[in-house]
Homo-oligomer: A and B are copies of this chain.
Amino acid sequence: MTLAFSEHDHKYCRASILRQVEDICQKQGLRLTDMRKRVLEMLLKNHTALGAYDLLAQLGREGEAVQPPTVYRALAFLTENGFAHKVERLNAYVACHFPDKVHNPGFLICRCCKAVGETCVVKSPLADQGFDIENEIMEAEGVCENCGLDN
């Protein structure tokens, strides 16, 4: 059962991940600038994925007239440092649930409630003698436990 689909104190969840990211940035001399932090906080709001233009619009609503490159740069920083991931099937982004672990993310995407659960994939099912895998994504779509009960 992944975090996104289980009841939990999300306020704490959010704060805890943000704290972890801040710590890592501190330690590694990475600059979690205001813009980067705001984008991360938006992604942490809930367990759904947000598109770059959703983020853009939200910043707009908050009074920041920001252009696409600004958002994409923040996302680039977050994804390159493992603080967020792109969900390729959705062309959208999520905050990483395990910012302190180097890992390949595996996503469970609920097509009902749109929540996205993340798991750390440790052993690649694609491992193939001869092919040197550098990184890997897994994205499953389906119906989460909560939505499955509802029908």
Interface residues of A in 74-115 (CB under 8 A from B): 88-89, 106-108, 110-111
Instruction: Mark out the residues of chain A between 34 and 58 whose CB falls within 8 Å of any chain B CB in the assembled complex.
Output: none
Is the C-beta of A133 less than 8 angstroms from some C-beta in chain B? yes
B88 adjacent to A130 (CB under 8 Å): no
Q: A108's closest neighbor in chain B, by CB?
A: B131
A63 at the interface (CB under 8 A from B): no
Chain A interface residues (CB < 8 Å from chain B): 1-2, 5, 88-89, 106-108, 110-111, 117, 119, 121, 123-126, 128-145, 148
The residue in A128, A139, A142 that gathers the most chain B C-beta atoms within 10 A of its C-beta is: A128
Residue of B nearest to A6 (CB): B130
